[in-house]
Each structure stands twice: as C-alpha cells, then as structure tokens.
Amino acid sequence: MGHASMGKIMWVDLGRGTIKIESIPDTLYQKVLSGVGLAAHLLYERIPSGADPLGPDNILGFVSGLLTGTGSLFTGRWMVTGKSPLTGGWGDANCGGNFSPAIKRCGVDGIFFTGISPRPVYLWADKGRAELRDATELWGRDTVETEEILKQQADGRGLRVACIGPAGEKQSLIAGVANDGGRMAARSGLGAVMGSKRLKAVALSGGQRIPVHDRETIKTLSQQCNEAVQFHPPFLNGIMMAYTGTLMRLLPMQMAFDGMLYKLMLDKYGTASLNQIMVEVGDTPIKNWKGSNEDFDRDRSVNLSPEIFTDTMVVKYHCYSCPLGCGGLMAKNSAWSGGHKPEYESVMALGGLLLNDDAESIYTLNDMLNRAGMDTISAGGTVAFAMECYEKGLLTRDDTGGLELTWGNSAAIVQLVEKMIRREGIGDLLADGSRAAAGRIGRQADRLAMHAGGQELGMHDGRYDPGFALHYCVEPTPGRHTIGSQMYYEMFRLWERVPELPDVSLVYTKGSKYESEDDKISAAAACSRFMNVLNGTGTCLFGAFLGVERLPLFEWLNAATGWDRSPADYMAIGERIQTLKQAFNVKHGVDPKSFKANPRTLGIPPQTAGANAGRSVAVDAMMRAYWQRFGWDPATGKPGEAVLKRWGIKTKPSD
Amino acid sequence: MAYKIIDRCVGCGMCRKICPVACIAGRPRKLHEVDRQRCIDCGACGRICPHGAVLDHLGRLCERIRRRALQWEKPLFDYERCMSCSACIDACPANCLAVTYSQDTQDRKAYPYLADPTACIACQFCALECPVDAVAMKAEADMDETQKKSLDGPFASSV
Ligand code: SF4
Ligand code: SF4
Ligand code: SF4
C-alpha cells in the first residue's frame, strides 16, 4: 500500500441501497493523484456519454486530497464532483472546513454515489461501518439545521457533515453542497445532483490513521511554511486599502503582486479585505458588468468596507490544517443569527453587482443562501440579470409578482432571493441560473446573462485582469475565478520550481496586460496545471498564493508519498488531469468553443467610463493558443487521440 | 500492523470498552479479538488490560499503566506555538479535544484544549500530528499545578 492515500474508495448504489469498497492501486495515484484527479479519471470512464446529470447514471463523488491529514498545511480542502447540470460538462466544487480529513478517517479517499434512492436518505459512516439511513425527517431542513440534528444524534462525537438544503432538494441548478455550518462547495450546480439522488447528507465519523512516508520532513517543511504565515507587521486598515486601490487605478504602471501582501490582508480581514480595493482598481464587476467603479464609488463601497464585516467577528475560523484562518465566526447582529463571515465573492455578487450597498441585506442574503444551499455568486449573477431585464422591459412588475427590481433595491433583492429558494413565481424562472432563465424569457435575453457555458462568472473582471477572462472561457469548468489569472500567476511564483516557466517582471505597463503573448499563454496553462495539483492534493488556493518557495507543495508531496518526483513531473500530472476533464466534456457532447463568456464581460464593446474604459480582451486568439499549448486541436479545443494516448487516457471510454 | 490479544485474556472487557474505534469483539469471560483491519494502533487496550494479554503492533507485550493513579499521559498545549489549525482535534480518535475562545474581540484566536479529559486514552496522536509540535504529553501525576490548571484550557485560570 502507498502512503498519503488510503488506497480505497467507497461506492454507494442509492438505487439498490448497497455499499462496497474498491481498492485503488498506488500506480493510479501516481498518475492522477487523489481528489479531483482520481474523480476525473473514474467519472470519465464510468459516466456513460449522454447521461442525464439529474438521472441515475450520473455519479456524485466526494473526494479528499492526497496531502490531507499528512501534517502538511493548507491541505484541508475537499471536492464534490460529477456531471454538472448547469454546464452539461465536468462539474466540481471545492470547500474547506473539516470534511476533507473526515473522508480519509473513514478509510477511503472518496465516496461515490450512483443511482437514485426511492426515498430521502443520508449516508452514515462511523467506526468502520457505513449504512444508508432514512432522511425523511431531515428533508426540507436547511443546511445548518441538518448538520446540527445529525450532530446531536451523534452524541457529541466528532461527526462531520456535508449536506444539501432546500435549493438542492428542489434541484435548483445553482445549488451547492454545504458543510461545517453553511460553508459551500457552490459551483457547477452539484447540489441539484445530490437532490436528484435524494441524498440529503453524508455524515462521517471515522478514526482511521492517515499513513505518511516521512512525517519528520513534513513537519520541518510545515514549520518553515508557518513562519511565513505568522509574519505580522503593522498593516493598513480598510479605508487606506481603498485609497491604495484608487492609486493603483490611476498609475499607468502595474506592480507584480506578491502573495505575502494578500496573506496580510487575508489574515486581518479574510477575503472581505478585497471589498473596496478591488472595486477601486476595476476588478469587481459592477451593475451586471455594465457599470464601473464610478457607479459604486468609495462613498458607496465604504458601506461594505472590510471592517463592517470583521468588527463583530468573535473568533477566526480555520479550516483543517490551516495556519492562516481567513474565515471568521461572527456575533449575532440585528440582521443575522451569527455564523460564518460573508466572503468577498458573496458580498460583491449581492452588493456591487446589484448596486446594493446595504450591508444588513447582504448579511441576510448570505445567511439565507448558505442555509438554502444555493451558490451566492450564481444567485447574485442571476438577480443582476433579472434587474437588467426589468430595466429593459423584458420582465415586468406582473412577471415579478409586484417586485420593483430596480438597481440597489435591497428589500426587493431579499424577496426575490426568497422566491428563488422556494421556486415560487418568478423565483422558479430564476432558480436555474441566468442562462436557463434567459432561455425561458427569450427575446435575446441571453445578451444580458453574464455567464460562461451556463456558469455565472466570479467577481473578478477579465477587463481588469485578462487572465480571468481567459480562464472563464477556456476551463472545462467555465466561469471559475479560482483557477488562474495574471495576478495568480505572479503570486504562485512557479518559475522558482519549474525553470521552463516564464518569470514575470516586477513592474510593467498596464497596456501590456492585454496583449496575447506566448508567455501569458504559458502562464495560464501553468495555472490550470498547478490548480489540478492543488485540487488533487486538497490544497487551498490561498495557501498557494504564498508562492511555491513559501508553500512547499512539491516537497510535501514527495515526503508524504515516498515518491521521488520533480515539480515538473507533478505539473505534468496536472496537465493529464486537465486533459481528462476536457475529454470528459467532449465525451458528453460539450463544444469547448461554447464556453466563451458573454462578450460584455470581455470588453466587446469596450466600456466608455470607469477603470476599464476602452479595454477589451482578444480572447479568441488566447483560447486557441491555450488549447494548442495542451496539444489539443486549436480550432475546436478537443484533445485528439494522440494526446489522449500520451496521457494514458482511454480514447473510447465505455459507451 | 495492529494490536493482538493473546490467550492470557480472561474476557474482562476493559479493552472492548475503551477501544475508540470499536474494533475489539468478545463475550464476557471469553477470549477477545482485535479486528486487525480496523485497529489504529492507539495502544489503549494494551495500557488498560489488567492481565498483560495484549501485544502491540510490533508484537511486544504491552505494559499496564495505572489510569486511576493518573499515570496516563495527557496533552499540554503550548499556546504561543499553536497556530489554531485544529489538526490535533481531528487526529484525536476519542474526540476529546475541542476549541475554545474568549468573547473578547481583541483576542480572536481559537485554542484547542482537552474538553473531555475522562475520554482521553493517552494515545499521543494529537502530539504526533501537530505540525508545529505544540503539544507535549505528560502524566497528570507528574504535572505541576499550573500545568494541571492549563488542562482546562487557556481561560480556566482567569475565571
Ligand atoms: S490498539 Fe487501539 S484501536 Fe487497536 S484494538 Fe487496541 S484499543 Fe482498539
Ligand atoms: S492523547 Fe490526544 S489524541 Fe489521544 S485521546 Fe488524548 S487528547 Fe485524544
Ligand atoms: S495541531 Fe498543534 S498547532 Fe494545530 S491546533 Fe493543535 S496544537 Fe495547535
């Protein structure tokens, strides 16, 4: 048996109610790692082409990471995987908390569900035993309640729960899977898949040890990494950061971003640190991507300042094995019963994107959505779409059931989201995201839906950092802000370990960001490959922002597994995983070109005001060059037989 | 690996009751048996067995350690070193660790502590898995007053 992995996975057939264990040879981990790689390998081969994402043939997988539980840091992330009902292709979503080690402590690296249960059930795994239990009593409950009830039944023992809320039960295509009190594996709509299977929750409490090859070396590396994390110089406050953002916007030059700076921001405020500074520089999309920082200036964004979201924080929240703790548990306030601090993505998708600067409403919305188990980004993106439809007369007061869907009308936003969660009236129209809603409205409403391949875009503007635009359009999971960008590449500092990769200059002109150059394509491809390694190992993106000299990912991997691989070897595994995911999409009839994001988000036509005025991203050329970099057909984005063979990927997976 | 019970076992059931993963089976007054697939080598059975009937994962006979005489080791946390990563809490097979924090919003750190001292089985997994070696194991009988107090967590002494 190998090290770091558990060497086994669990299969649960919900139709038959049976559970079995499958052994995984160490050679497979060597090819695809664990986590997303293992899931992509299995699901590519085993989900039949044309399978209905909400039907019995879809496979829903919960996977941990190869480094989770080995004594490495920032490695407590898990993923839910399956065929996405939102995009029709490969689906995955990532989350932290304490669920990732819980999977391995049950003696497996992943739990995979097939079929559809005749009645609501949850999986219970405790002390080496696993069974399906009736979930009739839990059906209809929100994610936080569900977890609390299951924990009470566990009698104080260390139970870890992942579950869906009402949104997943109602198969909203923008539903996610929650764990640890409403943290969300939100993207790709996999909560709907869980709902379609009538699987309410996965509740785990195992005590297995996680084998490691060389614990002493891992500890030494972890202690070095922790020293960088515990560096705490005096630091800027929120309003100073907002002015820094303004200054950054006005300067013609840009400085390469060092992850140490972002570490300080995350340490103090979590992702909420970005709330104002990113509006100021032009990274935050405003008013359904047609507005700019001028529509949401400092006087408005100050109402959503980092301090607003951290002043009532009671304690920092760390995911498993995290030395940083970007999360926070908050005291109760008038709008809200306490719980996890709202994240930047949620604040801006429900804030700036809707011209809403009412912080109370954002607390309320964030809590409602986390409890319902609905993606805050997609929910915000869909409300923004509805608001613009309302403005343009594509939706009327009759359609909205009397709601006045004007920009920034926070009371109406709350009521609309409530309807979406319940699938009531207009809420039913919107509960499957902006693309599906646009399809039902017709009359070219799709022009107002800011998605890529059906997935609402993250709150980072490709017109500010064209790297985001490219990854939104080109990834097998489109619309995702957590894979790559020019700024991410600067922070990852991969060239320090993989010498073939291009270094970045410390200072460059802003205009040069928009030129499609060879180095930028290399950087983007490297981000995708690296992110697959991170997601195969359960590593947090924010840890990776420290840069590979401070986050010794490759060194941890060798020490944990006992393998002797170079960073370039691991990056090659990342490339194999990327190809697997793309092959999955092709197998399921997805045209990679169709993932191109709404032209407005690419600056076509360019904006006339604000931080990104006059900018557009030549994304077609970049997409072709990116595909070519992976050896895929640059005209279609499809990996050919030769490249599949090169990576040992079956060219004709069963049906 | 895995622990093993030999025929000196009288079937008193002490090991079966303490095993944190419930992998020991046996009827009263009958020879008990360890499920070798599920045993996690925590050693609790070996420490508790009054009859010297347990072999450890390397085949050595385990020595009984007196629990009532406070000879079992318990975790002491170095809160300066601790980075609040909760790896120890997850590592604990007896689920006896938890986090605590003060209501004072100036101190926003989460501190692990031994929330259920009677459940602790002295396995040392918390100390082993702490990435920054912030956990030290010590028998309660050997602890000084400050150390004993600190078992109740960082805020106990200030109450
Ligand atoms: S060593 Fe621990 S896990 Fe193994 S049988 Fe003894 S008490 Fe149970
Ligand atoms: S020694 Fe540590 S890990 Fe073992 S039972 Fe006690 S607290 Fe838990
Ligand atoms: S494992 Fe160590 S650093 Fe992490 S919370 Fe426990 S004592 Fe603190």
CA distance A138 to chain B (A): 25
Q: Give me the pLDDT at residue A654, please.
A: 66
pLDDT digits (tens, 9 = 90+) for A598-651: 999 999 999 999 999 999 999 999 999 999 999 999 999 999 999 999 999 998
Look-up of token digits 């490969």: A90
Q: Which residues of B touch A158 (CB under 8 A)?
A: 89-90, 92, 95
Which among A238, A97, A186, A176 is positioned nearest to A459, based on CA atoms? A186
- Residue A78's DSSP bridge partners are A95
| Chain pair A-B, CB pairs under 8 angstroms | 92
Could you give the percent of chain A with pLDDT greater than 90?
A: 85
CA A250 to ligand 3 center in whole angstroms: 44
Tell me the C-alpha distance between A302 and A282, whole Å: 16
Which among A226, A256, A259 is positioned nearest to A544, based on CA atoms? A259
Give the residue extent of every domain in chain B.
1-64, 73-158
pLDDT digits (tens, 9 = 90+) for A458-472: 999 999 999 999 999
Q: Give me the pLDDT at residue A1, please.
A: 60
For the residues A561-573, what does the mean pLDDT come to? 98
Element (H, E) at A90: strand A90-95
Which among A552, A505, A548, A503 is positioned nearest to A523, based on CA atoms? A503
Nearest CA to ligand 1 atom 8: B19
| pLDDT for A352 beyond 70 | yes
Chain B residue with minimum CA distance to A106: B38
A151 in the Ramachandran plot: left (φ > 0), alpha (ψ -120 to 50) or beta? alpha
Instruction: Dig out the tokens for A70 from the structure.
Output: 């080995």
Instruction: Dig out the tokens for A275 from the structure.
Output: 């709330």
- Put simply, whether B133 touches A (Cβ < 8 Å) is yes
Q: Give me the pLDDT at residue A12, please.
A: 98
Look-up of token digits 């360019």: A606
SS3 for A401-435, per residue?
CCCCCCCCCHHHHHHHHHHHHHCCCHHHHHCCHHH
pLDDT, mean over chain A: 94
Query: Per the CB < 8 Å rule, is B131 touching A316?
Result: no
Q: Give me the pLDDT at residue A612, please.
A: 95
Alpha helices in A111-256 (DSSP H): 143-153, 166-169, 190-196, 215-229, 238-250
Query: Per the CB < 8 Å rule, is B90 touching A312?
Result: no
Domain B73-158 fold is Alpha-Beta Plaits (3.30.70)
Q: CB–CB of A89/A452 below 8 Å?
A: no
Q: CB–CB of A626/A521 below 8 Å?
A: yes
Q: Give me the pLDDT at residue B159, please.
A: 38
| pLDDT for A196 beyond 60 | yes
One fold for B1-64 and B73-158: yes
- Put simply, whether B22 touches A (Cβ < 8 Å) is yes
pLDDT digits (tens, 9 = 90+) for A278-323: 999 999 999 999 999 999 999 999 999 999 888 888 899 999 999 9
- Residue B113's DSSP bridge partners are B98
Q: Give me the pLDDT at residue A381, please.
A: 98
Confidence of residue B158 (pLDDT cuts 50, 70, 90): very low
Nearest CA to ligand 3 atom 8: B82
Query: Per the CB < 8 Å rule, is B90 touching A105?
Result: yes
Q: CB–CB of A519/A508 below 8 Å?
A: no
Confidence of residue A258 (pLDDT cuts 50, 70, 90): confident
Look-up of token digits 């106990």: B156
Half-sphere exposure of A298 (CA within 13 A, CB side): 13
Query: Per the CB < 8 Å rule, is B131 touching A207?
Result: no
Look-up of token digits 């990854």: A471
CATH for the B1-64 domain, from 3.30.70.20, 3.90.470.20, 3.40.50.12160, 3.20.80.10: 3.30.70.20
pLDDT digits (tens, 9 = 90+) for A568-602: 999 999 999 999 999 999 999 999 999 999 999 99
Element (H, E) at A518: helix A518-537
CA distance A321 to chain B (A): 5
Query: How far is Cα of residue A176 from the mean position of the Cα atoms in its chain?
Result: 10
ipTM value:
0.95
Nearest CA to ligand 2 atom 3: B92
- Put simply, whether A321 touches B (Cβ < 8 Å) is yes
Half-sphere exposure of A371 (CA within 13 A, CB side): 19
Q: CB–CB of A212/A218 below 8 Å?
A: yes
Element (H, E) at B147: helix B145-150
Look-up of token digits 């030059």: A253
Which among A446, A454, A619, A531 is positioned nearest to A89, based on CA atoms? A454
Q: Which residues of B touch A102 (CB under 8 A)?
A: 90
Q: Comparing A341 with A39, which gets the higher pLDDT?
A: A39
Closest ligand to residue B54's CA: 1
Closest ligand to residue B23's CA: 1
Question: In 3-state terms, what secondary structure has residue A181?
Answer: coil
DSSP A238-301: HHHHHHHHHHHHHSSEEEPPPHHHHHHHHHHHGGGGHHHHHHHHT-S--TTTT--TTTT-HHHH
What are the backbone angles phi and psi of residue B138, rounded to the nearest 5°?
-150, 140
Which among A196, A159, A190 is positioned nearest to A177, based on CA atoms? A190
Q: Give me the pLDDT at residue A128, please.
A: 80
Domains and CATH numbers, chain A: 8-204 (3.60.9.10), 237-245+271-449 (1.10.569.10), 466-646 (1.10.599.10)
Read off the pTM. 0.96
DSSP A530-589: HHHHHHHHT--HHHHTT-TTTS-HHHHHHHHH-----HHHHHHHHHHHHHHHHHHHHHTT
Peptide bond into A552 cis (omega under 30): no
For the residues B53-70, what does the mean pLDDT come to? 95
Which among B81, B84, B49 is positioned nearest to B65, based on CA atoms? B49
Confidence of residue A517 (pLDDT cuts 50, 70, 90): confident
CA distance A547 to chain B (A): 20
Q: Which of residues 51-110 of B touch A (CB under 8 A)?
A: 83-87, 89-90, 92-93, 95, 99, 101, 103, 105, 108-110
